[in-house]
Amino acid sequence: MWILIILLIILIVLAVMSIKIVRQSEVYIIERLGKFHKIADAGLTIIIPFIDHVRSIVSLKQQTMDVPPQDVITKDNVTITIDTVVFYRILEPAKAVYEIQSLKKGIEYLSVTTIRDIVGKMDLDSTFTSRDAINDKLRAILDEATDRWGCKIDRVEIQDITPPPDVKDAMEKQMNAERNKRASILEAEGERQAAVLKAQGEKEAAILQAEADKEAKIRRAAGEAEAIRKVAEAKADEVKLVYGAMMKANPDEKLVQLKSLEALKDVSKGEANKVFIPFEATGALSAIGAAADMLNEKSENKQEVKKDNTK
């Protein structure tokens, strides 16, 4: 009876040792008599107790490793502190177990040396403006180096770059000076644009004013010309009426000559220095001159007769 109980207990212990349940996203590295036997995937796995042995449990999830901050000297001899994070996955669990003593230590040491090599070839300003380039170079180098370990480097991120306090203070002063410079440039540019816009506005206003003056003069001249034309037309109509009336009255030659003389009288009262006398009026003027001479001779004769009588 006791023997059966002992055998049952031994069987239970052997069953517990033989049955292994592998969780999702994990694999077991199984060794048989100290030699690699197989990789047990997720699920139920049976091993032989005392012959098979679980060497290691490997996670297939993406893992992160925070590389301790490292002091790195740049090309221009400035010491900066760089904090880096590495994201990696294990693709071949057997290589990750048998090809390197400690995968995490290997990635850490390789990251430190690679960062120092990359940043050592760059100056201080480039390290701040080229983070993406540093990340890409570091990931490519680490991915190639860890390929024989069955590891895949997905991403490398530089969390922080810390310069020395004196360098940081100088950089802040330079940044403030650059901000002030840009502010001054923007202010000057704004004033220049305002002056240009003001000058353009004044120019357009002057052009519009000149065009308005021109249009006003043109319209004023057109109005004056129209008024002169209408006055001329009215005078012409008046002349026509007078001429028609005179023609109806059937004037004789003496009346026409008298009217011509009256017209010359009015013309002579004008401000003109020269007066042009029509040829037709010369006959009337000569007749008047002859009549005046006759009157003068008669008056002289009368005076002589009076003198003789007095003697």
**Residue 75 CB contacts under 8 Å (≥ 6 apart), including other chains:** 120, 121, 122, 123
Share of the chain above pLDDT 90, in %: 17
Judge whether 84 and 67 are in contact, CB under 8 Å.
yes
Cα(194)–Cα(40) distance, rounded to whole angstroms?
78
Dump pLDDT digits (tens) for 292-305. Answer: 455 455 555 555 54
Dump pLDDT digits (tens) for 117-132. Answer: 998 888 888 888 888 8
Q: What is the dihedral of CA 226, 230, 232, 235, to 10 degrees?
A: -170
Q: What is the DSSP secondary structure assignment for residue 277, as one 8-state letter?
A: P
Cα(83)–Cα(106) distance, rounded to whole angstroms?
17
Judge whether 55 and 86 are in contact, CB under 8 Å.
no
Dump pLDDT digits (tens) for 131-161. Answer: 888 999 999 999 998 999 999 999 999 888 8
Cα(79)–Cα(56) distance, rounded to whole angstroms?
41
Cα(197)–Cα(195) distance, rounded to whole angstroms?
5
Judge whether 153 and 143 are in contact, CB under 8 Å.
yes
pLDDT tier for residue 310 given thresholds of 50, 70 and 90: low
Q: Where are the domains of the chain?
A: 13-59, 63-163, 176-249, 253-269+276-305
Encode burial over 253-292: b for 16+ CB neighbours within 10 A, e otherwise: eeeebeebeeebeeeeeeeeeeeeeeeeeeebeeeeeeee
- Give the total residue count for the chain: 311
Cα(242)–Cα(224) distance, rounded to whole angstroms?
26
Query: Higher confidence at residue 41 or residue 264?
Result: 41
Query: Which of 37-46, 113-122, 149-158, 279-288 has the least mean pLDDT?
Result: 279-288
**Among 151, 120, 149, 124, which Cα is nearest to 137's?**
120
10 Å CB burial of residue 20 (0-12, 13-18, 19+) is: middle
Task: Assign 274 to helix, strand or coil.
Answer: coil
CATH domain 63-163 topology: Tetrahydropterin Synthase; Chain A (3.30.479)
Structure tokens at 70: 């490292």
Dump pLDDT digits (tens) for 53-78. Answer: 888 899 999 999 998 888 888 888 88
